[in-house]
Amino acid sequence: MQPGQPQAANSASPQITAASFPTISVPASARPPPGMSLLDQFPSVRASVLLDIARHEFEPSDLYKLDSRYRDKAERSVIDLSGGTLAVRATSTKDYPTFNSVFPPLGLYFQILVTFVGTAQDPELSTYVSRVTFEYLIQLQALHEEYQWPAVLAYHMEFHHCRLREMARGDYSGWGDIDGKLQRKHLFNKDRFRPGATPQALARSGGSKATPGTIRKTPYLNYGG
């Protein structure tokens, strides 16, 4: 065969199927001890916090309880006294000033959640929950890179809260969804200002002139819904 000539059809690579992948063989010495509870596996997390996560009653605004830098400090000031009445204050950037104040404890939250799901002894469910929660972490990071942090924080808090009732019913699929309604509510016209980008340049690029009711797409995400 001359150089540059296409190879014959019979020399094509074999088709890859599910049976092509290797099986996993884990030696007994590498397996975790059987019967370990959440208390055993996460000894640094308060028992009450682990129970709230397992019951799907852990409030998103309480993520600081999973951060070793802040969990032993006094409770956040989440109650305001206004007009003689008590009111719950919305989570603000004072509580979570940066993306890095949310991402690590949220990652730990998902570790605990996936570990708890594993107690059902359903490998397919555990794999699925691992995948959709990891997808959400990627989505959240992409939103952080594209939009202003206060807007992303508000989106995350409401999105997470919406998942609680679903998870209580055994439905974890919402973590892998894109909530276009919440994105329009919190992220519309909240693009991050990048150094060197003038208002005129943003207007020309569509950065702040999106069509009402729509959001400019972030790489890897589909803002339908």
Domain boundaries, the chain: 37-205
Is residue 205 pLDDT above 70, yes or no? no
Band of the pLDDT at 5, cuts 50, 70, 90?
low
Cα separation, 75 vs 162, in Å, equals: 24
Query: Over the stretch 76-103, which tens digit does the pLDDT of each residue have?
Result: 444 444 455 444 445 567 889 999 999 9
Is residue 175 pLDDT above 80, yes or no? yes
Q: What pLDDT is recorded for position 185?
A: 96
Query: Over the stretch 30-62, which tens digit does the pLDDT of each residue have?
Result: 777 777 899 999 999 999 999 999 999 999 999
Percent of all residues in the chain with a pLDDT value above 70, rounded to a whole number: 70
Residue by residue, DSSP assigns the chain as: --TTPPPPGGGSPPPP-GGGSPPP---GGGSPPTT--HHHH-TTS-HHHHHHHHTT---GGGGGGG-TTTTTSPPP--EEEETTEEEEPPP-TTTS-SGGGTHHHHHHHHHHHHHHHHTT--HHHHHHHHHHHHHHHHHHHHHHHHB-HHHHHHHHHHHHHHHHHHHHTT--GGGGS--HHHHHHHHTT-BPPPTT--HHHHHHHTSS-PPTT--PPPTT-----
Q: What pLDDT is recorded for position 97?
A: 93
**28-58 as b/e: b if 16+ CB within 10 A:** eeeeeeeeeebeebbeebeeebbeebbebeb
22 backbone dihedrals φ, ψ, rounded to 5°? -70, 155
Q: What pLDDT is recorded for position 188?
A: 94
Q: What pLDDT is recorded for position 72?
A: 52
Q: Which residue has the tokens 């019967």?
A: 35
Please indicate whether residue 30 or residue 206 has the higher confidence score (pLDDT): 30
Cα separation, 149 vs 106, in Å, equals: 16
Other residues' Cβ atoms within 10 Å of the Cβ of residue 77:
9
